[in-house]
Chains A and B, each alone.
Chain A
Amino acid sequence: MNTHESMSHMIVRRFIKHRLAVVFTIIFLVLSLIALLAPWIAPYDPNAISASFSAPPTNLHWLGTDQIGRDVLSRLIYGMRISLLVGICATLISITIGVILGLVAGYFGGIIDSIIMRFTDMVMSFPYILLVLVAAAIFEPGLVSIILILGFVDWPGITRMVRGNVLSLRESDFVKSARIAGLPRHQILFGEILPNTVAPILIYATNVLAMSMLDEAALSFLGMGVTQPTASLGNMLNAAQSMNVLTDKPWLWIPAGSLIIILVVSINFIGDALRDAFDPNSAQ
């Protein structure tokens, strides 16, 4: 047994032990690659209209065509690209806000802490989905608004977690010694404390990413998120609100829904494996 194993090596080794997570990581990477290379992979232009409307899957169109004759497979690939983009951007925004507020509240304490945390309590008191829906009603629906809405609503959980971490780290010996050594505050905050909270933030981020993608899907499904003609996994499901599509044209809604499930399951498993890998109390 190598006792001088490096931290990153150990984390990778523990991550790989989680077999299912490895499988889903590979699936997620392949899907992300497909999304990234959409213009080269998609068989058709996602907005190009062909002569066949609502046609079932054929050799020409593997997943059929939608009501106005667009290729479903191409829209699925481009839709996945948009859904991932929304999820990742919204997550980055909420993590940035949450981390900064949490660091400031936890490190400075006192009245600043009280103000930030009471504000966090207030935002958390409104049911999340209601806030998102109300914001979506106030602003014009569209790609940018949905990213901003999800990003600006989902930060309180991260703030609470980061603050809790900072509070316990602030009293740790290495931060105390940095303070005694006379390091400036911002350096203690960003150079000493932040790197030691990266693991929980990363794990939380996978959670937020999964949530954001589910919310994008729900909002677009209700017609309040990403709007036509841009395809997103959620607004492709919007068509299933019509009884005719739901009953007789499963190729229009089942693939998009299944793809959301696969993406979100993958993200959740990656988060779970990261949690195990970073856990200092883990058995091995």
Chain B
Amino acid sequence: MSRYIIKRLLSAIPVLIGITMIDYLIMSLAGNPLEMMVGPRISQAALDIRAIQLGLDQPIYIQYFVWLNQLLHGNLGYSISSYQSVSTMILDHIAPTLLLMVSSLLLSYVIALPCGIYSAVKQYSKMDYAIVTTSFVASSIPSFFLALLLIYVFSIKLGWLPSNGMVTLGTSFHLLDLVQHMVLPVLVLALSFAGSNIRYIRSAMLEILQADYLRLAKAKGIGMKKVILKHGLKNALVPIVSLIGTQIPLLFGGAVIVEQVFSWPGLGLMTMSAIISRDYPVIMGVCLLSAIVVLIGNLVTDILYAWINPTIELR
């Protein structure tokens, strides 16, 4: 087991290096900070001096190593538009995004687990049909359109819920206020996650229900309920853990559009405004951070997977 973990950690290193390279390459492809300075009042000589100051006269691989060195010292660079350090900006915006995404993922499992299991146990029943059809529709609705529909109904027509931001402006923090602001964005995200999660859990459960040991349990006549709860669910845990693992990237990248529609003050909204104002250091900082989180997520999933399921081949 520990050999497997070490091996898996080692294989992540080239991917990590590759990620920093792609990140740097995109940043240099996107443009050169000098272009922003070019204008009638700046002479060529001034530009050249600035290029030397910024190290832009060096070949690109040297620039990459300089950047990497800074990165290892925890310096992600500075925003072009606000001059704040990118790491501070990310730290300031990460909490609202995590709050939003963790609640949405939890709600989606609360919806998807019972629906998926019920659907698998009662395969080909009317209810199964209805659940699967609904899940298809839920994952086919563009999240921003669902957001607009919900805002139209609950904020504009009924006036029940706020559609903008995280707290009511000009008031002091109040838990109920926060929850009210969370309802619509969490609903949009949870429904779209639940759509695919239901089908995933259903097929994982179906596979297990057809396994020999479950047929045996059924044949022994220990009762359907006990079969499902005792043998089925326990084994369904393996695919569910890997499902959670594949959804870790969503914690960071999944909410860009929904945050934009609801003006939720998180990482997504910050990234979106950086993208619009072409604030590359911020964009690249976020990309790098999320890529690393994904990498760690995959690692943890693989290791957990191997730990839960001892039959997996550890190679």
- A residues lining the B interface (CB < 8 Å): 20, 118-119, 121-131, 133-134, 136-138, 210, 214, 217-218, 221-222, 224, 237, 240, 246-247, 250, 253, 257, 260-261, 264-265, 268-269, 272
Contact (Cβ within 8 A) B275 A137: yes
Q: Is B120 an interface residue (CB 8 A)?
A: no
Q: Mark B137-153, 1 if CB is under 8 A from A, else 0.
A: 10111111100110110
Q: Quick one: which of B140, B151, B256 contacts A129, CB cutoff 8 A?
A: B256
Given the known inter-chain contacts A118-B14, A118-B15, please indicate yes or no for A133 contacting B272, CB distance below 8 A.
Answer: yes
A129 to B148, CA, bound (A): 19
User: Digit string of B269-304 for contact with A (CB within 8 Å is 1, else 0)?
Assistant: 001100110100001001100111011001000000
Whether A261 lies near B140 (C-beta < 8 A) is yes
Decide yes or no: A246 and B151 within 8 Å by CB, A130-B253, A130-B256, A257-B145 being known contacts.
Answer: yes
Q: Report yes or no: B148 in contact with A122, Cβ–Cβ below 8 A.
A: no
Known: A130-B271, A134-B283, A257-B145. A125 touches B294 (CB 8 A): yes
Taking A127-B287, A129-B257 as known contacts, 15 extra A-B pairs with beta carbons closer than 8 A to each other, sorted by chain A number, are A125-B292, A126-B19, A126-B253, A127-B253, A129-B256, A130-B256, A133-B256, A133-B271, A134-B275, A137-B278, A137-B283, A210-B140, A222-B260, A246-B152, A268-B140
Shortest CB distance B5–A (Å): 18
Distance in Å from the Cβ of B181 to the closest Cβ of chain A? Answer: 18
Complex: A123 Cα to B294 Cα, angstroms: 11
- By the criterion CB–CB under 8 Å, are A214 and B257 in contact? no
Bound-state CA distance A253–B156 (Å) is 15
Which residues on B sit within 8 Å (CB–CB) of A128? 253
- Tell me whether A127 and B140 are in contact (CB under 8 A): no
- Once bound together, how far apart are the Cα atoms of A40 and B149, in whole Å? 32
With beta carbons under 8 angstroms apart, the residue of A131, A246, A272 that contacts B156 is A246
**A13 CB to closest chain B CB, in angstroms?**
18
B154 to chain A, nearest CB (A): 13
User: What would 28 A/B residue contacts be, using CB atoms closer than 8 Å?
Assistant: A20-B133, A118-B14, A121-B15, A125-B294, A125-B298, A126-B253, A126-B294, A127-B250, A127-B290, A129-B254, A130-B256, A130-B271, A133-B271, A133-B275, A134-B287, A136-B275, A137-B275, A137-B276, A138-B31, A214-B140, A217-B144, A237-B144, A240-B148, A247-B152, A247-B156, A260-B145, A261-B137, A264-B142
Question: Are A126 and B14 interface neighbours, CB within 8 A?
Answer: no
Q: Are A119 and B18 in contact (CB under 8 A)?
A: yes
Would you call B149 and A257 a contact (CB within 8 A)? yes
List the A side residues contacting B156 at CB < 8 Å: 246-247
Cβ-defined contact, B254 with A127, below 8 A:
yes
Residues in chain B within 8 A of chain A (CB atoms): 14-15, 18-19, 22, 26, 29-31, 133, 136-137, 139-145, 148-149, 151-152, 156, 249-250, 252-254, 256-257, 260, 271-272, 275-276, 278, 283, 286-287, 290-292, 294-295, 298
Complex CA distance for A237 and B143, rounded to whole angstroms = 12
Cα–Cα, bound, A279→B93 (Å): 46
Interface of B is mostly: helix
List of B residues within 8 angstroms of A136 by Cβ: 275
Quick one: which of A129, A214, A268 contacts B142, CB cutoff 8 A? A214
For A138, the closest partner residue in chain B by CB is B30
Instruction: Tell me, in angstroms, the Cα distance from A237 to B133 when the chains sit together.
Output: 25
List the A side residues contacting B14 at CB < 8 Å: 118
Query: Would A130 and B149 be within 8 Å (CB), given that A210-B140, A222-B257 are in contact?
Result: no
B190, chain A: closest CB distance, angstroms = 17
Instruction: Give CA–CA (A136, B152) in the complex, Å.
Output: 29
In Å, the complex CA distance between A250 and B275 comes to 29
The answer to whether A118 and B18 have CB atoms under 8 Å apart is yes
Residues on B with beta carbons closer than 8 Å to the beta carbon of A134: 26, 30, 275, 283, 287
B207 to chain A, nearest CB (A): 10
Q: Which residues of B contact A133 (CB under 8 A)?
A: 256, 271-272, 275
Residues on the B chain within 8 Å of A237, using CB: 144-145, 148
Shortest 7 CB-CB contacts between residues of A and residues of B: A127-B253, A264-B140, A257-B145, A125-B291, A122-B18, A265-B140, A125-B294
Minimum CB–CB distance from B199 to chain A (whole Å) comes to: 9
- In the complex, what residues of B have CB within 8 A of residue A247's CB? 152, 156
Residues in A with CB closer than 8 Å to B260 are: 222
Q: How far is the CA of A131 from the CA of B22 in the complex (A)?
A: 11
